[in-house]
Chains A and B, each alone.
Chain A
């Protein structure tokens, strides 16, 4: 009996799911070299996994709705049908536990209304005091001391604008041109950690090539596309965990569109009309989320 004969279907699944130790994995891979029908099964399951991730990964990238934020820290809602007894309904209590008379219930209701009114007024007064204090505090701060988050939200766009202004009209705008696309993608993967050059032919934009540029806190990728009439735009992306940095400059009449996907900040910069920029950005955003077509 050859070692291949000892490989079971469960081993093939375990290979796909990373559940094999290195020695067993090598044996299964050897088996696949000699049994193309099993290799096809494994490939099919890997494609199933890829299809599932392509279909549902965008859900994980959406910001959760308000109802789910800090949901674990909130107590569960009480089950329906267990409301308080002072709703006016007749309470058929246990023997010996006489129902409260209606007069008592009215007193309870009136007391609770007074408490609710007092609580509402107190909340309004406290809220107004906090608002006034916050306004005074914010007014006393110099404008340069904007919150870090605000600066971080705009710094990628600023850096992308600076990169665009530096390279877009340069005689040598890209370091690796589109003819060496595979080499470019390997370079981006090594330096930036994300290798995707979206195909924007559908919106009339041809990839010229790309380069590595200084990012906010890490190397960034800068891809340049060109329309038939010679107008160019740039797609900038950088790992989004990067911290904020001082804002850069942006050129006049340039549209900058920013979005986040797959842990990266993407910025599209160009001097095309707003709808053309929007269409290009939507095409690029869809392309970076689509399953990769490039081989690693």
Chain B
């Protein structure tokens, strides 16, 4: 009981990384869609752990399952989602041009730092398939976004986090 509760609470710590992944996976479709996906994934995993349908041995496994749920939800939801706007940097347009599976694997490995085995498990493919998707994604992305870009909404975000103390 305690371990399940600890894992559910611990998943809260994965929320920032899940938001980062969801935002990139949505490739300019909008922060609201990305946050909805994260919320649905976390609530679904929490419910499955509480009902003992899912019995992760530790937080790392629960985290992988949460990413897998997020990817599955995103695949359904992003079908009719809008593409990136002109204001988005080239890397976002490059991501939007990739097939969903290729984008999912590329971001798991390159952005989230998952190993090949974990990334394959998250997207429900074999290691070889995931590696092939990664290779195709990197080739297709090519030179898109290779120039350094300003962080998304970087200026506004930086300013909003500044706090005048005195």
Contacts and interface: CB of A to CB of B under 8 A. Distances in A.
Interface residues of B, number: 58
B150 A290 contact: yes
A53 B164 contact: no
B125 to A, nearest CB: 15
B91 A52 contact: yes
A148 interface: no
Contact of A281 (B43, B47, B116, B162): B162
Contact of B46 (A44, A51, A59, A74): A74
A56 interface: yes
A59 B152 contact: yes
A13 interface: yes
A13 B20 contact: no
Given A254-B166, A285-B158, A60 B20 contact: yes
A9 B134 CA distance: 12
Contacts of A9: 135
Interface string B19-51: 110011000000000010011101111110100
A281 B32 CA distance: 29
B141 interface: yes
Interface string B152-166: 111101110111111
Nearest to B66: A72
B2 interface: no
B9 interface: yes
Contacts, number: 176
A71 B15 contact: yes
A226 interface: no
Contacts of B15: 64, 68-69, 71
B134 A13 contact: yes
Contacts of B66: 72
Contacts of B116: 14, 17, 19
Interface in A47-74: 47-62, 64-65, 67-74
B39 A68 contact: yes
B104 interface: no
A25 interface: no
A260 interface: yes
A97 to B, nearest CB: 27
A44 B146 contact: yes
A52 B162 contact: no
Given A13-B134, A19-B116, A55-B24, A290 B9 contact: no
Given A44-B146, A58-B157, A71 B43 contact: yes
A269 B43 CA distance: 43
A176 interface: no
B11 interface: yes
A52 B92 CA distance: 9
Contact of B115 (A19, A65, A71, A267): A19
A164 B100 CA distance: 51
Contact of B145 (A14, A55, A67, A261): A55
A263 to B, nearest CB: 12
B42 A51 contact: no
B66 to A, nearest CB: 8
Given A73-B46, A258-B165, 19 more contacts: A13-B135, A48-B141, A51-B145, A52-B24, A52-B145, A54-B149, A67-B35, A71-B38, A71-B43, A71-B46, A72-B42, A72-B43, A256-B164, A257-B163, A259-B158, A267-B165, A285-B161, A285-B162, A290-B151
20 contacts: A13-B131, A19-B116, A44-B143, A51-B149, A55-B91, A56-B24, A58-B151, A59-B19, A59-B24, A64-B16, A68-B38, A68-B39, A74-B46, A250-B166, A255-B164, A256-B164, A257-B165, A259-B163, A285-B159, A289-B158
Interface of A: 9-10, 13-14, 17, 19, 44-45, 47-62, 64-65, 67-77, 154, 157, 161, 250, 254-261, 267, 274, 278, 281-282, 285-286, 289-291
* Top-3 shortest CB links A-B: A72-B46, A285-B158, A71-B42
